[in-house]
Amino acid sequence: MVHREVDGNEPRLPDGPIPDSSTMKNVIITILSIVALVAGYVALSSKLRMPLSMLEGKTAIIQRGDLTLPINATGEVRPARRVEIKAEASGEVIEIAKQAGDRVEAGDLLIRLQRDDEQRNVDRAGLDLDIAGARLEDARLRLRQARTADLRAAQSRVDELAERVRMAKFRMKKLAELPEHQRNDEEMLQRETNYGSSKAQLGAAEANLETAEIAVPRFEQALKQAEAAYETAKTVLGDAEKRLSKTNIMAPIPGIVSDVRVQVGNVIQGGRTTLTGGTVLVVVVDMDKLVVRAEVDEADIGRVLELSPAWARPGHAQADQMPDDWRQAAAMSDFPPIITVESFRDEEFTGIIERIYPEPKSLSGVVTYLTDVIITSENRSRLLPGMRADVRFTSEHLENVVLCPNEAIRPGSDGELGVFVPKAGPTSEEKTVEFVSCKFGLSDGNYSHVKDGLGQGDVVYVKLPLQRDRDKERKKKRRR
Task: Indicate which CATH number applies to the domain containing 414.
Answer: 2.40.420.20
Same-domain pairing of 252 and 315: no
In a domain? residue 366: yes
Same-domain pairing of 279 and 312: no
Which of these three, 369, 398, 427, is where a domain ends?
398
In a domain? residue 281: yes
Same-domain pairing of 224 and 149: yes
Same-domain pairing of 421 and 333: no
| Domains contained in the chain, number | 4
Same-domain pairing of 133 and 207: yes
Same-domain pairing of 148 and 223: yes
The CATH code of the domain that includes 343 is 2.40.30.170
In a domain? residue 424: yes
In a domain? residue 206: yes
What does the chain come to in residues? 480
Q: What is the DSSP string of 45-98?
A: HHHHSPPHHHHH-EEEE-EEEEEEEEEEEEEEEEES-EEEEE-SS-EEEEEE--
Residue 377 backbone class (left: φ over 0; alpha: ψ -120 to 50; beta: rest): beta
Judge whether 78 and 385 are in contact, CB under 8 Å. Answer: yes
* Predicted confidence pLDDT, tens digits, the chain (480 residues): 334 444 444 444 445 555 555 666 666 777 776 766 666 655 555 554 445 455 668 899 999 999 888 889 999 999 989 999 988 888 889 999 999 989 999 999 999 999 888 889 899 999 999 999 999 999 999 989 988 888 899 899 999 999 989 998 998 888 888 887 777 888 888 988 998 998 999 899 899 989 888 889 999 999 999 999 999 999 999 988 888 888 889 999 999 999 999 999 998 887 665 555 677 899 999 988 899 999 999 999 998 998 888 899 999 898 888 888 878 888 777 778 999 999 998 899 999 999 999 999 998 889 999 999 999 998 988 998 999 999 999 877 888 999 999 999 999 888 899 999 998 766 656 678 899 999 998 888 899 999 999 999 999 999 988 765 555 555 555 555
Same-domain pairing of 302 and 447: no
Same-domain pairing of 104 and 135: no
Q: Which amino acid is at 189?
A: L
DSSP state of 337: P
What is the spatial distance between Cα 65 and Cα 179, in angstroms, rounded to a whole number? 142
pTM, entire model: 0.55
In a domain? residue 34: no
What is the spatial distance between Cα 350 and Cα 425, in angstroms, rounded to a whole number? 51
**CA nearest neighbour of 351 among 83, 78, 103:** 78
Same-domain pairing of 302 and 222: no
Query: Domain residues for 87?
Result: 82-114+247-285
In a domain? residue 211: yes
pLDDT of residue 7: 45
In a domain? residue 317: yes
User: How many C-beta atoms lie closer than 10 Å to residue 150's C-beta?
Assistant: 20
SS3 per residue for 219-286: HHHHHHHHHHHHHHHHHHHHHHHHHHHCCEEECCCCEEEEEECCCCCCEECCHHHCCCCCCEEEEEEC
Same-domain pairing of 109 and 253: yes
Same-domain pairing of 305 and 384: yes
DSSP state of 401: E
**CA nearest neighbour of 293 among 352, 187, 374, 215:** 374
